[in-house]
Amino acid sequence: MLKGYWGKMRGVTKSPPRVGLQEVFWSWLGGFLGISAVAGGHFAFFEGTAFMLLIASFGASAVLIYGAPKSPLAQPRNLIGGHVISALIGVTMLKLCGPLIWLAAALAVSLSIAAMHATKTLHPPGGATALIAIIGGPKIQQLGYLYVLLPVASGILIMLLIALLINNLIPTRRYPEFWL
Amino acid sequence: MMGEEKLRREPEPEVELAEADVLAAMQELPGYLDITPYDFQEIYRWAYRHAKSRLAREGKAADIMTREVVAVQEQTPLDEVAAAMGERGISGVPVLDDQGRVSGVISEKDFLRQMGVPGRQNFMALVATCLRTKGCLALPIKSKVAKDIMATPPIVITPETPLQEIAALCESRGINRLPVVDQEGKLIGLVSRGDLVRVMSPGGKTC
């Protein structure tokens, strides 16, 4: 039995093939334009204010929606649902177990994973969005539930718009695979 | 719209997987799968095509042979042989000795030759009936057994025989069905012309 346990760690197959150079370029372009839009918006409208449009987990979403747009993890349902649900859970955990940051963080991420699974919205960057609600600093903590709408929902909608525009311009791509 | 035109066109496998099949399969696997049913269908279509051309290129008898083969014994009366072939609509059967080794092959042609029938009619069921009544073409072989009319020694192949070689054999000897035997000459399978055509034709349709 123990042999089987260690044996499982060997892996069973090969890593999938590398994508073509064109694909690399399109992924780069999508990532550049998508993050430009939210980062540009952030510095144009919210710099020096109490609000923001850009958080780190958008970088992770960019990998999925511009780099692996066929993945179920990258579809609009997952992108929006994953971030919004995780943001809600993150803010709620901060409010519930405020001083115990480690517990708030662990609960926020783990509950987000569970909730995303349960709602068919699994989107890995959602875990980061939940975590950022707790360890993102005083500015984010002060947003309270506004965090869910701005930056999270607003920023992610801009990223989604860019993904729709860019991915469908590319001959070998289409996006999304499904909406709901 | 622009994208649709340039997306690669998919080949068509013999067995189409419906989206519902893939969804059902995905539900049977316990973990989360990072692939859409559509992508899986697409990969399946292409992988199927690759598997087929690999089989045609480097396949062996063992890869395509039928394992449940109808065979007769040397002492099987010819009416039973003919009935067995007629019922299944097959044009030939291997004949086994008492050790289970292939000692010969009987085909329609062997019957027709014995009966003095010219041409290439394929009415095995009729022959079977014929053998059981008096005064027909089959009369001269009515009391004979498989061993009396079988072609021997038989042309046989092993599980390791490459498909290319089998195709060449079928072509040069004008035969449709090749018994597959193990090292002791015992019957373990059969490759028919139809089996070959199925794996070797690029379109994937059976003749």
ipTM for the complex shown:
0.76
Report which of residues B138 and B58 the model is more confident about: B58
Torsion of CA A117, A118, A119, A122, to 10 degrees: 0
Task: Judge: A117–B36 Cβ closer than 8 Å, yes or no.
Answer: no
Confidence band, pLDDT 50/70/90 cuts, at residue B13: low
Residues of B with Cβ-Cβ distance to A117 under 8 angstroms: 32
| Domain assignment present for B83 | no
| Domain assignment present for B10 | no
| Domain assignment present for B84 | no
| Domain assignment present for B119 | no
One-letter amino acid for residue B90 of the chain: I
Residue B43: give the domain boundaries. 19-59
Q: Is the pLDDT of residue B205 over 70?
A: no
| Domain assignment present for B47 | yes
Distance from CA of B7 to the nearest CA of A (A): 5
Report which of residues B116 and B83 the model is more confident about: B83
What whole-number distance in Å separates Cα of residue A89 and Cα of residue A127?
10
Domains in chain B, number: 1
Handedness of CA A117, A121, A123, A126 (dihedral sign): negative
Task: Judge: A70–B39 Cβ closer than 8 Å, yes or no.
Answer: yes
Residue found by looking up tokens 């025989």 in the block: B161
| Domain assignment present for B51 | yes
B36 touches A at CB < 8 Å: yes
- The model's pTM: 0.67
| Domain assignment present for B78 | no
What whole-number distance in Å separates Cα of residue A156 and Cα of residue A136?
17
Instruction: Tell me what percent of the residues of chain A surpass a pLDDT of 90.
Output: 87
Residues of A with Cβ-Cβ distance to B7 under 8 angstroms: 171-172, 174
Closest residue of chain B to A168, computed from CA coordinates: B3
How far is the CA of A169 from the CAs of A79, A160, A166, A174, A175, in angstroms? 20, 14, 5, 8, 10
| Domain assignment present for B146 | no
Task: Judge: B36–A170 Cβ closer than 8 Å, yes or no.
Answer: no
For B27-68, where are the E strands, in sequence order?
none
